Homo-oligomer: A and B are copies of this chain.
Amino acid sequence: MQLRNNLPNTPEISTEELTLIDRYWRAANYLSVGQIYLLDNPLLKEPLKPEHIKSRLLGHWGTTPGLNFIYAHLNRMIRNRDLSMIYVCGPGHGGPGMVASTYLEGTYSEIYPDISEDAEGMRKLFRQFSFPGGIPSHAAPETPGSIHEGGELGYALVHAYGAAFDNPNLIVACVVGDGEAETGPLSASWQSNKFLNPARDGAVLPILHLNGYKIANPTLLGRMTDEDIEHLFRGHGYEPFFVEGHEPADMHRQMAAAFETVFDRIRTIQAEARDGTVSEGFPRWPMIVFRSPKGWTGPKEVDGKKVEGFWRAHQVPVSGCREDDKHRKVLEDWMRSYNPDDLFDANGRLKEELRALSPGGERRMGANPHANGGLLRKELIVPDIRDYAVPVKTRGADMVQTTEILGKYLRDVMKRNDANSNFRIFGPDETESNRLGNVFEVTDRVWMEKIEPYDVHLSRDGRVMEVLSEHLCQGWLEGYLLTGRHGLFSCYEAFIHIIDSMFNQHAKWLKVSSELPWRKPVSSLNYLLTSHVWRQDHNGFSHQDPGFLDLVANKKADIVRIYLPPDANTLLWIGDHCLKTWDRVNVIVAGKQPEPQWLTMDEAIRHCEAGIGIWDWAGNEDGAVEPDVVMACAGDVPTLETLAAVCLLRDAIPELSIRVVNVVDLLALQSQDQHPHGLSDEMFDGLFTTDRPVIFAYHGYPYLIHRLTYKRTNHQNIHVRGFIEEGTTTTPFDMTVLNELDRFHLAIEAIERVPGLKDKAGSVIAMLEDKLAEHTRYVREHGEDMPEIRDWKWKTSKTVG
């Protein structure tokens, strides 16, 4: 079976042009090697001496020449066709290549004037790379034109698709390394072509760079036959074109021809979709399979061992060049093989005929504004949250699906920003399940495969992205945000851990970006975590894990926020607030099941603005003296159980003075010097007292509250209950009992912690323990909670308002 595409006869590509491109490529390679090795003597005006060499040789050469080769040829296409293109560099540790190519096109010096286009600038360019106080070794926020770090492999292609959505005139060239191609997230990313609509979205051109080796092994795809590669990518729905070899002149001709062909295909696909010729199915987008030697043009052998075309070229192909004269000679020969005098003038400036090869202005990939998305970001148009407020006349009387209310708000956000095409909702097949289904009144799920007549809310133009891969949801959204748009990721709480490491990397990106004045702010990454630990009625233990918040709290304080709204009106305020922020990661945890509602909209606004507060309608302190006990809560289920515990206590021990504190902005618990939202010690002490017992019911693992509050005066008296890793499929209330977060345990602990009360209230404790036992008997008998639990209502002690 012959599947493989044969490239058409090379169109009008002159040998002269290809020779120029080859020189441009050599210039990029020269600059890449210089960055890894040289402290000085950048133009090799004199023989290399030990003092010209860095004392620590760091960086990754192996992938770099291939990256430079692709960059140079993409420049040709941009110039010839006036394309708007960005370059996603999957092998991000090929940082020297991205830096070299953006330096050659002039963008680097525009952003960093100190790195000028002359010998002195080149010296600094070399020196700063992977050097203390300089730039990191990977493509990074510091790198012009980059929206992708690539240090953690797996996310290049999904970032590329995220960038292309709703950018009809953008082409995202995405280099996928064959190491990266082994990862799970990248393996799934190929499916993104089934979510890209050529009529409204841009194009992604995947360039699978098979250089055959990882750190110390061949790669799986590198060793696959072309036939298997062809099958695999046809199976994924692509049309692969092969560029293979090592002889530069031949490779230039192949690559130029392949690019002519694939950019023609892209133009045709887009034209047919946009003029309506084709309106069914997803197109067979072209892709390039680029086989070139690892460490191409570098030393063939060092000390008798194979280097070029092998994994030994992965990092620094020849080491010890400062100490070892022979190795230094290898380096010098290697660098001179690029013939720097043929590339740069006497002042170190790229020769004019080569300068002419890069596009101009914002067409340069290092200067394309899509890669600095904050430049293009438009504020989201949001409605007034008061229009969606749940009326609360009697506290806790009505049961409302909290996330459903947010869904109505999101529907209108979707509608109001439709003309700007800059808002999408992402989730692993759970938008409806998470009760956000109202958005389907104004949009659909995007679906490019076949649509059946009985399908529901699927269309080619949908703005809800659903796929059963948290990695894809996260990666698409990152790419979408980094190119200047807005979005929300709604996810089952437990499974957000699947993207822990992607979250880490995005938080790192934001931290570094926010320190670079030329990087403009991008919209925050907003998570709505629902179907949370306390309500996994269908699924049980595997779906019960609230630990993502612990991970988030480890990141730089000015990047992260954690919100635990107790009801619908607070969720509305928080959702609205998060959508308006930038350069942050906002995590909202809110249940999707019917829950009692506590605060009016006005109260919710005040409460959320403060982030934390006393619910005086719930407590019974007289205000003159400190209460006997503080019942604190964070999260919807803990709030419910705390209020139920307060009722039990107030009924049984009316003389007990109780304060209820609710926390909605979790990091307010931290000190002001640790987090910008942190309360001052005075305010904290004002809420939690300096010496009264605090019974704190918390949504997640209890330890987080301790580590947030350990510096507070009253910390010794803060007793936290939360999820202690006891789970299964059982009733919602039984889940709280198994983890001792239920009303009865809370009330018992309050009694036990108030000095002197335990002895007096022994009969109350006995009553509460009986209730616990009665619950357990009942639930095991009936499979549901006791009526008094199911029908429990807050006893309004003060009227609302």
Contact = CB atoms under 8 A, between A and B. Distances in A.
Contact of A468 (B183, B224, B727, B728): B183
Interface string A537-550: 11111110101001
Interface string A1-32: 10100000000000000000000000000000
A701 interface: yes
A97 to B, nearest CB: 15
A450 interface: yes
A394 interface: no
B56 A537 contact: yes
Given A235-B234, A542-B138, A184 B469 contact: yes
Given A551-B551, A730-B132, A783-B55, A214 B429 contact: yes
Given A58-B729, A223-B449, A501 B498 contact: yes
Interface string A170-214: 000000000110111111111100100000000000000000001
Most buried by B among A217, A731, A784: A217
A458 B217 contact: yes
Nearest to A225: B450
Contacts of A468: 153, 179-180, 182-183, 214, 219
A771 interface: no
A498 B429 contact: no
B217 A784 contact: no
Contacts of A180: 468
Interface string A44-80: 0000000000111011100000000000000000000
Copies assembled: 2
Interface stretch (A379-387, A629-637, A647-655, A702-710): A702-710
A153 B543 CA distance: 11
B466 A217 contact: yes
A613 interface: no
Contact of A725 (B191, B540, B554): B554
A672 interface: no
Contact of A539 (B137, B154, B194, B216): B137
Contact of A216 (B154, B189, B432): B432
Nearest to A312: B456
Interface in A309-346: 310, 315
A710 to B, nearest CB: 5
A793 interface: no
A131 interface: yes
Contact of A703 (B185, B554, B784): B554
A289 B554 CA distance: 44
Contacts of A449: 218, 220, 223-224
Interface string A405-428: 000000000000000000000000
Given A132-B783, A710-B715, A220 B235 contact: no
B137 A729 contact: yes
Nearest to A725: B556
Contacts of A59: 538
Interface in A364-397: none
Interface stretch (A251-259, A504-512, A574-582, A678-686): A504-512
A187 B234 CA distance: 15
Contact of A184 (B236, B454, B471, B555): B471
Given A182-B467, A182-B468, A218-B447, A315 B540 contact: no
Contacts of A550: 550-551, 554
Contacts of A217: 429, 445, 447, 458, 466
Contact of A152 (B136, B433, B495, B505): B495
B228 A234 contact: yes
A547 B504 contact: yes
A152 B542 contact: yes
A400 interface: no
A517 interface: no
Contacts of A798: none
Contacts of A727: 508
A151 interface: yes
Nearest to A185: B184
Interface in A512-555: 512, 537-543, 545, 547, 550-551, 553-555
A303 interface: no
Contact of A455 (B130, B218, B703, B707): B218
Contacts of A783: 39, 54-56, 127, 131-132
A508 B542 contact: yes
A-B interface, 3 closest residue pairs, ranked by CB to CB distance from nearest: A232-B235, A151-B542, A184-B184
11 contacts: A132-B779, A133-B779, A133-B780, A136-B541, A179-B468, A215-B432, A216-B433, A508-B725, A550-B554, A551-B551, A703-B707
Given A137-B540, A151-B543, 9 more contacts: A136-B729, A152-B498, A184-B471, A188-B188, A229-B235, A233-B235, A505-B542, A511-B725, A707-B710
Interface of A: 1, 3, 39, 54-56, 58-60, 92-93, 127, 130-133, 136-138, 140, 149-154, 179-180, 182-191, 194, 214-220, 223-224, 228-237, 306, 310, 315, 429-433, 445, 447, 449-450, 452, 454-456, 458, 466-469, 471-472, 494-495, 497-498, 500-501, 504-505, 508, 511-512, 537-543, 545, 547, 550-551, 553-556, 701, 703-704, 706-707, 710, 715, 725, 727-731, 734, 779-780, 782-784
